[in-house]
């Protein structure tokens, strides 16, 4: 028993007729998306570099729009139940060849048909679980990426802050060195001015010695003032001798 005819398959279809491309080239791309859900089929077509991929993508979008608008289906619950390409008209052209002959040129065309249907409940549940797991993994990756970028930004900010602090410390150190150099120069200037005074250092030392001698003399005079003078001692001695003689 044969299966249902292509035009009798259940689902919502969209057809592009008379497209200037051979059916064999279109079938290569249609074989990639047959039986896949709509999201996966779109991803496959987006990653295919063939010319037929762009055309088949438009036909698939038209089939999904027909299912949503006319049959009240959800776009994320659909899959490609059938996809085929039939031979269209072939335009015959000729090109000159050697010795007056003519070569045939066949400009082929095709009719592209895409049929979408709703997934069964079991497969739909499996697909939803897979999408949820994929979304969780994607969310985890985004969070990890965001944290990694935040850590990198924080590290960059720390390095910039450290560089600024180092520059400020260098500036303060340079300013302190400049101030110390200015103080040293001022001290050297004062010493030079002090050395240029008329009174030599030796005279200053002698003056200090004279002052010390005067202090010593004053201390000696005070000591002598406390002691009985020599003349008074002599007079006392003479009076004592005269008294003894009188006796």
Q: What is the pLDDT of residues 169-190, one digit of tens each?
A: 888 888 888 888 877 777 677 6
Q: How far apart are CA 28 and CA 79, in angstroms?
A: 18
Helix/strand/coil percent split, the chain, to 5: 70, 15, 15
- Has residue 204 got a pLDDT over 50? no
Q: What is the pLDDT of residues 56-98, one digit of tens each?
A: 999 999 999 999 999 889 888 899 999 999 999 999 999 999 9
Nearest CA to 3 out of 86, 82, 100, 113 is that of: 82
Percent of all residues in the chain with a pLDDT value above 70, rounded to a whole number: 73
- The CA radius of gyration of the chain, in Å to the nearest whole number, is 59
* pTM for the full predicted model: 0.55
Enter the tokens of residue 167: 């520059």
Enter the tokens of residue 48: 């295919």
Enter the DSSP assignment of 37. B
Predicted local confidence at residue 156, as pLDDT? 87
Predicted local confidence at residue 237, as pLDDT? 55
Predicted local confidence at residue 208, as pLDDT? 47
Question: Which CATH architecture describes the domain 9-119?
Answer: Alpha-Beta Complex (3.90)
24-40: b (≥16 Cβ within 10 Å) or e: eebbebbebbbebbbee
Q: What is the pLDDT of residues 10-65, one digit of tens each?
A: 889 999 999 999 999 999 999 999 999 999 999 999 999 999 999 999 999 999 99
Predicted local confidence at residue 136, as pLDDT? 87
Domain coordinates of the chain in residue numbers? 9-119, 120-197, 201-238
């Amino acid at each position: 028993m044969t299966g249902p005819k292509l035009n009798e398959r259940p689902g919502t279809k969209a057809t592009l007729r008379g497209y200037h491309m051979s059916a064999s080239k279109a079938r290569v791309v249609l074989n990639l998306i047959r039986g896949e859900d709509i999201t996966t089929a779109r991803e496959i077509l987006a990653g295919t570099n063939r010319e037929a991929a762009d055309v088949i993508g438009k036909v698939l979008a038209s089939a999904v729009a027909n299912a949503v608008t006319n049959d009240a289906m959800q776009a994320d619950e659909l899959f490609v139940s059938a996809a085929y390409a039939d031979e269209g008209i072939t335009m015959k052209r000729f090109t000159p060849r050697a010795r007056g002959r003519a070569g045939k040129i066949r400009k082929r065309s095709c009719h592209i048909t895409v049929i979408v249907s709703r997934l069964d409940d079991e497969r739909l549940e499996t697909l939803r679980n897979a999408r949820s797991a994929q979304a969780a993994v994607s969310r985890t990756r985004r969070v990890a990426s965001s944290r990694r970028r935040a850590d990198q930004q924080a590290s960059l900010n720390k390095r910039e802050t450290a560089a600024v602090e180092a520059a400020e410390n260098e500036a303060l150190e340079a300013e302190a060195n400049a101030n110390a150099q200015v103080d040293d120069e001022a001290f050297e200037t004062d010493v030079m001015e002090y050395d240029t005074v008329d009174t030599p250092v030796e005279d200053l030392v002698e003056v200090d010695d004279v002052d010390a001698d005067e202090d010593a003399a004053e201390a000696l005079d005070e000591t002598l003032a406390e002691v009985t003078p020599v003349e008074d001692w002599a007079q006392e001695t003479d009076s004592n001798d005269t008294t003894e003689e009188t006796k």
